[in-house]
Amino acid sequence: MPTRTRVKICGLRRPADAVAAAAAGADAIGLVFYGPSPRAVDLGQALAVAAAVPPFVARVALFVDPDPELVRGVLATVPVELLQFHGEEPPAFCRSFGRPYIKAVRLREAGDWARAEARWGDAAALLADTDRPGRPGGTGETFDWSLVPAHRRLPLILAGGLRPDNVGAAVRAVRPYAVDVSGGVERAPGEKDPARMEAFLGEVRDADAA
């Protein structure tokens, strides 16, 4: 059976972008609850985006070292299927909300992936992103994909600087469970470009078929 690499498009702020992401074939969309990000949403924006997402496309709420009350407030207000933690959150914190979670990790050296799998062993998936001090995500920069081992126990979501012109190579090199993109499918921070989302999905499907 051919592999089907899942695609998550992160950092949506507008309902129309959610409709376009789903039409392009995205499996999941991300809502950034982190004030310093240019892609941050408030509860009202998040509700509007979440409501525009069709069934069977997952909604992911993303946080960076949040106050637990913020997470609880989002869960009480916005329909989301998954949480994503992009800071230094320990496993007990991540699991304390009773919702499947994705843990973002930065791979700096060989062995980092295995250590993260051992630490966040109950995560739904680990998201491997680029390490840039002071920038917890959305860097627009790739990292050394050879740091991802071929044998993995948890699903890998590959992130960091992916774009329509390099995601095919990334999928062929790493064969991740999913890819995650933010800046590579935008025309401005937080403003997704339907044509770039379609191109991105097209490249992923071509790589799946190769």
Which one of residues 183, 197, 201, 203 is an interface residue with ligand LARABZUK (CB under 6 A)? 183
Q: How far apart are CA 183 and CA 160, in angstroms?
A: 9
Q: Is 103 in the site for ligand LARABZUK (CB under 6 A)?
A: no
Contact map string, positions 67 to 86, toward ligand LARABZUK, x by CB under 6 A: -------------------x
Tokens read off for 54: 């069709």
Beta strands in the chain (DSSP E): 6-9, 28-32, 58-63, 82-85, 101-106, 125-129, 156-158, 178-181, 186-188, 191-192
Contact map string, positions 139 to 158, toward ligand LARABZUK, x by CB under 6 A: xx------------------
Tokens read off for 69: 């009350």
**Minimal distance in Å, beta carbon 1 to ligand LARABZUK?**
28
Q: How many CB atoms lie within 10 A of CB 44?
A: 10
Q: Is 5 in the site for ligand LARABZUK (CB under 6 A)?
A: no
Q: Is 197 in the site for ligand LARABZUK (CB under 6 A)?
A: no
Piece of the chain touching ligand LARABZUK by CB under 6 A; list 114-122, 133-141, 192-200, 201-209? 133-141
